[in-house]
Amino acid sequence: MTTQKITDATFEQEVLKSAEPVVVDFWAEWCGPCRMIAPALEEIAAEMKGKIKVVKLNIDENPAVASKLGIRSIPTLILFKDGKAAAQKVGAAPKGELSRWIAAAV
């Protein structure tokens, strides 16, 4: 698995203090569109390894960060660069669209 699971407790270390850009996938088990984009995110994480990191934060198990960032719909993807949110995408999209969004934001 090339994506990594993070928690409220590891968010700061894994995302905000990361040397490379990080795409955070805010998701939940019950979310169909979240499960739909998961394979695409795995492929993107493998293809862009060394350029970006892709992590997943389950909002049911870890509500603090999602609440702090005002996440209201899932899936929500936020790309963090240098500890700050650089781009955000809400909703499911095909792999090509997700790759282009990430490439444009990095």
Residues known to be catalytic: 31, 34
Question: Which residue(s) pair with 27 in the sheet?
Answer: 58
Give me 46's structure tokens: 């493998």
CA atoms lying within 13 Å on the CB side of residue 85: 15
Burial tier of 8 (Cβ tally within 10 Å: 0-12, 13-18, 19+):
middle
